[in-house]
Structure 1
């Protein structure tokens, strides 16, 4: 019953206010649903963020691995090219050094070609002291010699085993040495270009994907 002086309208308003203050069953259910929706959305956001972090780590790890492999291959290629270049340079220097020794103390003789192969040509000759010499390392600059051929040779009198075909010298080593160096560096340049050209697109694509 209404208290004296209360109107029907004020009584209804007071009842709704009381229901709102108490929360009521419907309000509690709505609150639970809202909390569940927010929790689900937060979980999805966390899962998406963790997934993107994992993807980023994987992509950057792959990029670093590619860069490391590229550096290693580059160093190996350059090292091989420098090694061949140094070997050719030492070959030329050694040839000129031998020529200098022969020219400083020259001896001349007629030598018979005993054997000829791709890496050594053995000759036999006599020195003024009637000693027969068969240099173990063969004769220098033997191109075109044949077994049984008699050729004029020059040798170092202080070391008769150091002998060359007369009229030939270290300059004959320049063309093959330079050719080898040019070929090696051409191949090395092609390998380096291929390494950087081949790996660059993958890295760029992965990095672009991460920025999205």
Structure 2
């Protein structure tokens, strides 16, 4: 869960603080207050609402937060192993991702008690106003049409429309993600395991052989004939 604050609510809180300082009924000088919309929501849900408001499709693939954290750790570890200087530039991305995966909620009880803060713009109204402010990024806007023009890029023209192009250009996200994980595992197996290429290949072939041998000795009754099962149901 994450807390968000619309800018007009922040401005309203400043006005409330100024009024409280002028009244001198409550000592608020030097105090710090958290200001939010008093309605925490999931970060992914908030981002999805913004995307839908701009006319884009809500993300279809949902990955567990633990898996995303592990992927980020693997990427950072690979950067460190390769002594890459690009890690410093990608650090803000990791920080934003870490914040998105954590619970960041704040209590506004002190602001409500001391300066009488109450949000003047609800979260739903704030989202609507924010979408209107970024209407130039909407899917049907002239800017978006210019970015998402039908003209194919050089890479798309070069790769064409085969299965390889679908994977490399993220047209089939499931296959692309599967290949990405497989490449990471192979990269680790051959380069970061500390073994030579020949020994890594030999162990990989041994693992494949054991897997195939185990599969061959399994009884056939363990596997369901789905066609026959469907026929029986009909």
- The alignment's TM-score, normalised by the length of structure 1, stands at 0.22
Higher relative contact order (CA 8 A, sep 6+): 2
Structure having the larger proportion of residues in strand: 1
